[in-house]
Amino acid sequence: MAQNLGTPDKTIFMRKLYALLLCMLTISSVSAQHVNYNSSKWFWGLNYGGTWHSTDLDYERYNGWGLTLGRSYNYDYGRGLSFDLRI
């Protein structure tokens, strides 16, 4: 009888999903470096993250997400110092 020595289908799916999310974030961050100084000082963000580790008994996976709301202060072209307040 043949044994299944490969990884389970769910693990392969999760690896592909994380790889796809990483590629999407990398591509979207290429255009994120542009700064428009005439725009609003308010910003918002959505973030998601995951972590996993293996123990002696089983794999453990944790996922988390968050929302960010903030405002920039003293953020003009040529200023030496600026800061953000985030919630």
In sequence order, which residues have a C-beta less than 8 Å from that of residue 37 and are 6 or more positions away? Answer: 75, 76, 77
Q: Is the pLDDT of residue 32 over 60?
A: no
Q: Is the pLDDT of residue 86 over 50?
A: yes
Tens of pLDDT, residue by residue over 53-67, are 776 667 777 888 889
| Res 11: pLDDT | 83
Tens of pLDDT, residue by residue over 2-29, are 555 555 677 888 888 899 988 887 776 6
pTM over 0.85: no
Strand positions, DSSP E, the chain: 42-54, 59-73, 83-86
| Res 35: pLDDT | 58
